[in-house]
Every structure is written in C-alpha cells, then in structure tokens.
Structure 1
Amino acid sequence: MYDSPPELQGSTQEPTVLGAASIPREDWDRAPWNRWSFQHVRELVPTAQVWRGPGPATALPVALQDIDGIAFESDGQPATIGSFFEANYADGFLVLHHGRVVAERYFNGMTSHSQHLSQSVAKSVVGTVAGILIGRGVLDPAAPVTYYLPELETTAYRGATVQQVLDMTTGVVFDETYTALDSHIAKMDVASGWKARKDPSWPTHVFELILQLQASQSVHGAIFNYRSVETDVLAFVLQSATGLLLPELVSRELWSPMGAEEDAYFTVDSAGYGLADGGFNATLRDYARFALLHLGGGEIGGRRLLPSSWLEDTRFAARPDLFQGVYRDILPRGAYRNQFWIEDVERGAYMARGVFGQLIYIDPVGEFAAVVLSSWPEFLHAPRTRASLAAVRAIRDALA
C-alpha cells in the first residue's frame, strides 16, 4: 500500500478552534495559542516557499501496526503509547521501521496536508544541507567562518571555524533564556519578525543581531553550548558559498531531490532571510521522508543526496567530553554534532529536537525513526522530553 492513507484521528480530544484575528501578536507562539498557530504560521508572519519541485513524491510504503498498548516507563511512572498521546499535546506522530510507515496519527485538527512548525528541528534540516554541500566540495568545514562572512571579523566569531559553528562549540556569548525579556533569544524573536520591535536599539533583522555579538565566554572549540544563532551564522555561510537564499537552497539541494510531497516554508525577517534556527514548516509525512533519507545513509528513492561519510561523522565523531552540565540531564551519554543531538556515540542513534515538543528520532541500527510534532504549553519540559524518548525507544524495541 502506497501514498497517503486515510486520516488517522488518534485522539478524542477536541481540536483547538482559533484564528489569526484572535491570536495576541506578541504571544502567537505561546500556549494556549500554539495549539492552533503551529499549524498556521504563514497566517501570522511573513514566509517564503520551499518548493517541492516538479518530480514525483518518494513513496512511503505503509504497513500499519497497533502500537497503542506498548508499555514503557518514564521517571518511574508506567505509561502506554496510547496514554502518551493524550498527555503530551501531540499534533502528529509517525513511525518508520524497515522503510515502512507502521504508525501514523493526527490530533488537534492536524491532517496529512497540514504544515507544522518544527522549531529547532529546522537546525538539522539546515545542517543536512551543509552536509550535502560539504560532500560536493562547495563548503569547507575547516575554513574560518570569516572566509565566507568577512563582516564577522569585528565580532566574537573571529577565529571560529565552520565546523565549530556546526557543532555549537564556538566561544561566543549568546543568552538562550527563552523566558527572559532581554535575552539574545528574545532579541532574535524581534529580529526574525516573530515579535514586534519595541526597543529602538534592538536589531531589525537577524544578520544585524549576529553583528552585535561581541563577547566571548571561552576559546573556540572548548565546550558545547546550545546557541540558536549558530544555525543562522551557518545559513549565512551557506548563502555566501552558493549565492542562493536559504529557502531556495533547501528546495534545490534537499526538498526537491528528496521527493517531498508538499512544499515547505520558512518564516522570513525584514531583510528576506529565512529563519534557519527555527522557522521551518512542513508536513508530518515530509518530515518522515527527511528521516528516511538519513536512515538510508544519505540515499532516498535510489538517489544519493548526502555522503555516507558525513553521516558517519555526525553519528560517531561527536565529542561527549564537550557535552556537559544540564545537557546530560536528558542525554547522559549524549553529544552534539553537525546540528544534530547524538543520543550516544556508541550506537549512533541521533535526533533533531525543537522546543514545545518537536522530535525526529533516527536509529539506523534498528532501521527505525519516529517523528513527533507537538504543541506543549512549555518551551522546555524535562519530564515530557524523557517521556517522548522513552516512548519512541519502547516502540523501537517492540518492533525489533
């Protein structure tokens, strides 16, 4: 069985019914409005198309299985996959095993054609495009960032390499505190066009924010520290290397040759820049095709897009010794490499993650992947994150 199955409504929860006119401009991406807005971003902020191209969609064979009764435990509490959906504000859920869709569920009014905000899953999409360009020799990861962006000689990025940006191991100070009103990430909300500009000293677009980053907290390469802006620096590097704006670049190098079924889109700032660190929107099934590309070692539909050597580097060359502190609360054996979270460098399972509960979990050893799209009330919630990971591992192990 191929192509789109009937919509699988997996929850009795009533969908949230809202509209752009009823969403507060400053809080459109926060609870409770995110239950609606994460599927309607282009109705709220400016966006740019990521064209799927003229070719056929890559087929997703379907062999559905009943997974609701699979049991798991998280933080000492027993649960089942069925109860996980209800408790974790799920919007979409899809499981791939041996190249087939074994589970596909939609909640909260989402359908197979709904495009959902991926938040920082976008980072891994952009990182994958970087891998494609590295494989073709268009991008040199060992080169200084300033080789591609000489404007950054006056910033704390001076001396950092492209690989250090990919791995978020530069020493640049960037405050990622989501709830602080004056953090760098709050300024990013304004610079990206997600929020209104109230302080005239704040940047008007993302590159202006990057140019303002003057402080260092460590030498480059010393330690991992999650900085969303690193993905935007990477995106400007990619744009400089190719002469293409990010939405067109993702279309040409990834979305079209991957065989996406639907267009995707990025939110854009006042300068027309597509927000690499969190502004990407796509359907559940196309996120699954992205996972299938990774499960295929860089091949999909008989086409090689991504060097297998780059994927091996992503999975096994990460540095757990640079991955310290709070990051080990969720991934005690984890690491970060090439814009992906590595679960552990021994098995090589890895993932794309985003705030409010977005997850693409990829385990090539088990020929398994899971896509979770959510609209949590919280930016970050460690128990929910642990539950999500425990749930997908339980499904993986049950299917093995």
Structure 2
Amino acid sequence: MKISGLRGLALTTVLLSAPGIATELPDPESVRTDQLQLMQGFPPPADKQITQAGFMRPYPNPRWSFHHARELFPSRRVARGNEGVYALPRADGLEQQIADLTFTGPDGEPMSFTQYLDSTYVDGVLIMQHGKVIFEQYQAGVPEDEPHILWSVTKSVVGLLATQLIEEGELNPDALVTDYLPELEGSGWHGATVQQVLNMTADIDYSEVYADRNSDVVKYSLAAGMSPVPPDYPGARDLYSYLPTITAGEDPHGKSFRYRTTHTEVLGWVLRRVTGLSTAALIEQRIWSKLGAEQDAYMLLDSKGTEWAGAGFNVTLRDLARFAEMVRLNGSFNGQQIVSPGVVDTIRAGADREIFKAAGRDYQPGYSYRNQWWISHNDDGAIEALGVHGQMIHINPGVGMVMVRLSSHPVASSAQTMPLTIPAMEALADLLRDNAP
C-alpha cells in the first residue's frame, strides 16, 4: 500500500461487496466521524440518516453505526456490576515515540504508527505495558463512553468462557455437540466434538466469504437479524431455526481448519444449555461484573432474543483493555482470579499449525487457532482476538504489552489489515522491549 503524506494513503482497489464489484478505499481523512454529520439534526437530513438497512452500507455509515448499534438492533445489557471502577494507571513519556514509530510496510515502503492507525480506519486504540496505559487515541467525533461493536472478537470472549467451563469440569471437550444439542442431530455438526467446534475443525457445508453476496454468511446474517429480512425470504429468520439447516461438509471432522462464525453460534448454544444462562448473563456473571468496568456492555439479539455469540458483543475501548489485561495476567485482575491460569495456558498453547497453514490464510504466517483465539507462535508468545472491519486485541506477554483497537474499515476481511498489523506489532514490541516495569 503506497503512502502519500503523513496521513494520506494512495487509493487501493479492493473488493468490498461482491465478486466483480470493485471500489476504492477512501482517504481516511475524508471520512472522519466528526465531519460526516451522520444522524445529526431533528430529524437528520435524508442523506445523513442511518437505519437498520443501512447499518453496513453504503460506507461510511459504519463510522457512526458501529458505536450506535443498540439504536438499530435489539440488545441485552451486560451489566458492569456494583463494584467501583478499576482505574487504569497511566505512564507518560512514550506517546510521541509510539506515534512516530516507523516500520516497513508490506510494499517495502516506510510507514509510521500514525499512518498505520489511519490506514486501518481506527475509531480508537489503547496500548498498555506492564499494566499502565502508555498510548490512547480516538478518531475525532467518536464517543469514548459509547460501546462499539466487536464483531468476531466476541468469539474469543465466548471461547474463554468455554475453556473455563472445561477447566471446571462443567463442559466436556470430547463430548459430541449433539450430546448437548440433540436439535443438531441431523445437521453438519453430527459427529463433531465440542473441541472441534472450539478449534473450528468441525467440517460443515458453509461458506463465509464476506465479499460474496451468494455466500452462506448472508443467510446467517439474515437469521441473526443483521439486516431486514425481505417479506418473501424463504429461509430461516432466527438462529435456532437456521443452525439445524446447515449440512455436513466433505471432510471428516477434525482434519481441516475453516473459519466459520456458525461454529461459535453453536458453541454459544452449548454454553446456554450447560449453564442455563443467556450469553449476556454468562459474560456478566463470570467476567464483566468483576473487571471494574466503566460502562455496561451489551449484546445484539436475533428476532427470538438469542445473542449473536459469534459477533454481537459491544464494549468501550478502555473496558476492552481491562479484559485484555486480565487475559495477559493469566486471568487475574482487579484483585481477583477471574478465570483460571490454566485457561490462558490452554489457549496460548495453540493448535496444529499445519492444519492452519492449509487453510490458505497466508496473511497470518505461522499461526494456529485454539479455542476461538488466534495464536501467533512468535518469540514473544503473542495471541490475538480479531473481528471484521479491524477490531483487535493483541496480547504480547513477552514485553508485557496489550493493544486494543476498534475500527470501521471499509473492508470486512482481516486480510486487508493483518499485512500492516503484523509488522506494526513487531516494531511496537521492539520499541517497548527494554522499557522496564
């Protein structure tokens, strides 16, 4: 990607919505939230109004809708609890060094960290080292106290809870999914284990190609209620009706890694069945009420009140940092052990890297996927939670670093941002490596 000036980027042609339909990435400066004036006025002008149907497109609607999702969709609160706020300590002196940090981008051209943030359409970014905030920045116009949709970072929260239930003996990773959910007996999950769902190595006949209007992910989004369902639509209109319709893939379970959000929706269903709690209540009781969060979070719901377990969690940037720091500290945070250290050890161990490599995700070289987390296997032992349109948790235990990023990138796939993010994270780690606690 060619850099032109400190904040500008040369326009790059990418697929945004469907095969054969290309568009150009806008200059990030031209789609600043504070200048767009979306949903401003009483009523807003017609060209500035955003409805549920316009949640995702046309761009730049996501620059507003990603941190106003509960105004467009039904949602369920994840309460912060009655404990006081855990104040995030701060350490000054590195902000400018981080902003000016330069690394080599994928095209061989130098890129500053500020340019990296602009080019990934960041809504907010926060970096901590050794438990202290060393960098925090928001796009102009983004409300700091309004939760932002995490998309698939939600999966990693659900995966962490599943791993904790396994640790406690409440969930058997070797049990068949249908032992917990007989409703899926005739589906593609027949014969798959809970662990295979956690690692996304259960094989189902389902495609998740965000740039393909004919992909099965469109059927999933309609069932989840992510967009209005046409009156004559013949398919399922809620998640519990949709999941049993997905059939088996061609490969045996456990042999191949294929990223599928519907696996996490099944996992969320399993957890609800095992605990008797909604996904929101489970996150609230086990994690959110213990973090000393500043704000309530919330989860988006389908038409029957079922949470989007694979995509629907909404939180503020600082509260996401609290969650990430808890994981970095092996589950200990705010004066209590929130999840067991063994849970984090299990996730960090990763999975079969050759199976991952065969999936063709060349923009994540050397990675594996374990319990809904991305494992880098780099020298620092970094792990990540990733969501479409640029959402990210990056945890580097080797240098005591956490970075959380909320974004509204025009392109959904992480293939667009990871070639920039990997060298940016390596350069950031090198800058902080000698920074004593």
The answer to whether TM tops 0.5 is yes
Question: Equivalences for 1:32-43 in 2 at 5 Å?
Answer: 32-43=60-71
Deviations 1:170-191 (A, max 9, x none): 0112110113233221011111
Q: For 1:189-243, what per-residue CA distance to the aligned partner results, in whole angstroms no more than 9, with x for missing partners?
A: 1111111112432111012111101232211100110000111100000000000
List structure 1 runs of 4+ shifted beyond 3 angstroms. Answer: 11-14, 325-328
Tell me, in whole angstroms, the C-alpha distance in 1 between the residues paired with 2:281 and 2:109: 45
Against the structure 1 CA distance between its residues 234 and 381, is the aligned structure 2 distance closer, same or farther, given a 3 Å change threshold?
A: closer
Q: Does 2:263 align with 1:243? A: no
The match for 2:292 among 259, 262, 265 is 259
Residue pairs, 1:1-400, within 5 angstroms: 13=32, 15=34, 16-19=36-39, 22-30=49-57, 31-64=59-92, 65-66=94-95, 67-75=98-106, 76-198=108-230, 199-325=232-358, 327-344=360-377, 347-380=380-413, 382-400=415-433
The alpha-carbon distance between structure 1 residues 307 and 14, as it changes in their structure 2 partners (threshold 3 A), is closer
Query: Match of 2:185, SS?
Result: helix
Task: String of CA shifts for 1:13-62, please: whole Å, max 9, x gaps.
Answer: 56232129612543312321001110100111111111111112223111
Q: 1:219 to 1:108 in 2, by over 3 A?
A: farther
In the alignment, the residues of structure 1 paired with residue 128 and residue 321 of structure 2 have an alpha-carbon distance, to the nearest angstrom, of 8
SS of the aligned residue for 1:154 comes to coil
Give the % identical residues: 37
- Residues in 2 aligned to 1:239 and 1:262: alpha-carbon distance in whole angstroms: 24
Partners of 1:302 and 1:382 in 2: CA distance: 38
Give the 3-state SS of the residue equivalent to 1:256 in structure 2.
Answer: helix
CA distance in 1, matches of 2:414, 2:331: 32
Q: 1:158–1:326: structure 2 CA closer, same or farther, 3 Å change rule?
A: closer
Q: Deviations over 1:73-100 (max 9, x none)?
A: 1111211112222222110000010111
Moved more, 339-348 or 269-278: 339-348
The separation in 2 between residues aligned to 1:334 and 1:208, in whole angstroms, is 34
Q: Any gaps of 5 or more consecutive residues in structure 2? A: 1-28
**What is the alpha-carbon distance in structure 1 between the residues aligned to residue 348 and residue 138 of structure 2?**
30
Per-residue deviation at 1:383?
4.6
Residue 347 of structure 1: how far off its partner (Å): 4.2
Deviation of 1:266 after TM superposition, in Å, equals 0.8
**What is the aligned-residue RMSD (CA, Å)?**
1.8
2: distance between equivalents of 1:358 and 1:74? Answer: 20
Deviation at 1:168, TM superposition (A): 0.4
Residues 305 and 101 of structure 1, relative CA distance in 2, 3 Å threshold: same
Q: Does 183-192 or 224-233 show the bigger shift?
A: 183-192
Separation (CA, whole Å) in 1 of partners of 2:148 and 2:189: 32
Q: Is the 8 A contact 2:350 2:368 kept in 1?
A: no
Secondary structure of the structure 2 residue equivalent to 1:382 = coil
Scaled by the length of structure 2, what TM-score is found?
0.85
Give 1:323 shift. 0.3
Structure 1: tracts of 5 or more residues without a match? 1-10
8 Å CA contact 1:52, 1:255 repeated in 2:
yes
Aligned length: 390
C-alpha separation in 2, matches of 1:319 and 1:346: 17
Moved more, 109-118 or 292-301: 109-118
351-360 vs 60-69, which moves further: 60-69
- Mapped to 2, the partners of 1:396 and 1:112 lie a distance apart of 26
| Aligned residue identity for 2:347 | T
Give 1:326 deviation, angstroms. Answer: 5.4
Change (3 A) 1:345 1:232: farther
Q: Deviations over 1:239-287 (max 9, x none)?
A: 0000011111110111112222211111100110110111110000011
**CA-CA distance at 1:289 after TM superposition:** 0.7
**Secondary structure class of the residue paired with 2:159:** helix
Counterpart amino acid of 1:28? Answer: F
